[in-house]
Amino acid sequence: MKYRYLGNSGLKVSEICYGNWLTHGSQVEKDEAIACVHTALDEGITSFDTADVYANTAAEKVLGKALKGQRRESVEIFTKVYWTTGPGGPNDSGLSRKHIMESINGSLQRLRTDYVDLYQAHRYDVETPLEETMQAFADVVRAGKALYIGVSEWDADQIRAGHALAKDLGIQLISNQPQYSMLWRVIEEWVIPTSAELGISQLCWSPMAQGVLSGKYVVGKKIPKGSRALDEKGGSAVIQRFLRDDVLVKVKELKPIARELALTQAQLAIAWVLQNPNVAAAIIGASRPEQIIHNVTASDVVIPPEVMRQIDEVLGDIVERDPMKTHENAPRQRPS
């Protein structure tokens, strides 16, 4: 396992970060989830990403239990705030001071820790003044409940404004967590250049495009039993944009490229994300420990420039590059 600095901070994170969206407290039984976390630790993963909304707080509880007994200083724990938790009252979502302060306390209790290494705004809150949000984050940092601040799926202008306020308040906004893969490159035109200028890294979710880039979905064949595409709790909705015949045909053409590098298609997909110098880590999930053992191989893989060009040629115009997708997919109002 290799490690990279997160933004312009002194914090190092593992290139492969273990995330528990759609798994812990939902798809995967508790004992299996704990086994996955322990395997991640054994494989050198030190960074763990979760959110209060995952399985409506259950994912944080499972992660907290799984990390019990570990030396706290040896791991980096990331969580997030924005989406609705609890019964869904008027202040149970968003980035108001009230919701942030209540949410960080709840997350720390569930995670069984006094602080998180990174506290992230899970989306941009159009209903709360950004000044209020950043002041609340600054107070969380000063209270010792978070060491650094990050955001998730913010557009370039939002990142720039948040960074400026954070700097004025004397705190460090060091990361953005966007979707990024061979198939979904909407951050490349605006978000990554802005982030690089400001000293902000990307923590990328769905580097395998919800599993499509692993090659397990094939045109004309039934969707594999137990796969994310059949998960009615959330996974099936996200993956639909990639389950088109034209996409699956192109993805199949990546198999010989991966083979030439002695990689599987899943390992190639994760390694591809890590070739971007603005990326600090690729976030992977797992329902079985062996998946983690398999995928950490992508750490420290160097894909030659000519192979990167070959991948682009194969995928062609099925790649989504429109930078407006970051803005278009953002919430228009606070969830209720």
* Active site (catalytic) residues: 54
DSSP codes of every residue in 228-254: GGG-TTTHHHHHGGG--HHHHHHHHTT
Q: Which residues pair with 79 in a beta bridge?
A: 119
What is the distance between the alpha carbons of residues 245 and 267, in angstroms, rounded to a whole number? 22
Q: Quote the tokens at residue 268.
A: 């190639």
What is the distance between the alpha carbons of residues 95 and 254, in angstroms, rounded to a whole number? 41
Q: Quote the tokens at residue 259.
A: 């083979």
What is the distance between the alpha carbons of residues 302 and 221, in angstroms, rounded to a whole number? 33
79 alpha-carbon distance from chain centroid: 10
Residue that is written with structure tokens 């769905």 in the block: 206
Q: Are 137 and 149 in contact (CB under 8 A)?
A: yes
Q: Which helix (H) or strand (E) holds 156?
A: helix 156-169
**Letter for the amino acid at 93?**
S
Angle at 29 between CA 25 and CA 33, to 5 degrees: 80
Buried b / exposed e over 277-316, threshold 16 CB at 10 Å, is: ebbbbbbbbbbebebbebbbbbbebebeeebeebbeebbe
Phi, psi of 320, rounded to the nearest 5 degrees: -90, 115
Q: Which residues pair with 24 in a beta bridge?
A: 28
In eight-state DSSP terms, residue 333 is S
Q: Quote the tokens at residue 275.
A: 């070739």
DSSP codes of every residue in 109-169: HHHTSS-EEEEEESS--TTS-HHHHHHHHHHHHHTTSEEEEEESS--HHHHHHHHHHHHHH
